[in-house]
Amino acid sequence: MKKTKKKTKKKKKKKTKKKKKKKTKKKKTKKKKKTKKKKKKKKTKKKKKKTKKKTKTKKKKTKKNKKEKTKKKKTMKKKKTKKKKKKTKKKKKKKKTKKKKTKKKKKKTKKKKKTKKKKKTKNKKKKTKKKKKKKTTKKKIMKKTMKKKKKTMKNKKTMEKKTMK
């Protein structure tokens, strides 16, 4: 039991010493950074120069534009009356566009009728050609069946002869 008590006492003393050293180092670094940032105060002088230039240009413009401002007021009044007339015209245009849409639909139906007529005339010619082909095929089939019948008859006769022998 005596050995364990001695070990715990030594460990506690070492830990307290390390903590004190770390705290002193952090405080020194923070103070140095703040002093460097305070030196940047040159931006305020540049702003004063910009404001002086703006005032000089404004004074020159007001002297020249006094006559132009009176003319602009007269033109603006005329423009306002024109805009009101345009609004009424737009309402009439909307009605015309609806009528145009119905006319386009009629044109589409006429085109469909023309295409149908053309297809019918073409198909009639094809049908007549097919009928001619059918006639030729019937003849061929009849010939083939006749040949088969003849062969069967011959075979029957030969078989009868063999039996008789």
Instruction: Encode pLDDT of 49-94 as tens digits.
Output: 766 776 666 666 666 655 555 555 555 566 666 666 667 777 777 7
Query: For residue 52, which phi and psi values (nearest 5 degrees)?
Result: -65, -40
pTM over 0.85: no
How many other C-beta atoms can be found within 10 angstroms of the C-beta atom of residue 68? 8
Pick the residue with more confidence: 154 or 128? Answer: 154
Name the DSSP letter for residue 110: H
Of residues 111 and 133, more confidence is placed in 111
The helix-helix angle for 66-164 and 43-64 (nearest 10°) equals 100
3-state secondary structure (DSSP) of residue 40? coil
Largest CA distance in the chain: 144
- Sorting pLDDT into bands at 50, 70 and 90, what band is 38? confident
Tell me how far apart the alpha carbons of residues 12 and 16 are, in angstroms, rounded to a whole number: 7
Q: Does residue 116 or residue 145 have the better pLDDT? A: 145
Q: What does the angle CA 28 – CA 31 – CA 36 come to, to the nearest 5 degrees?
A: 130
Q: What is the token pair recorded at 13?
A: 């003393």
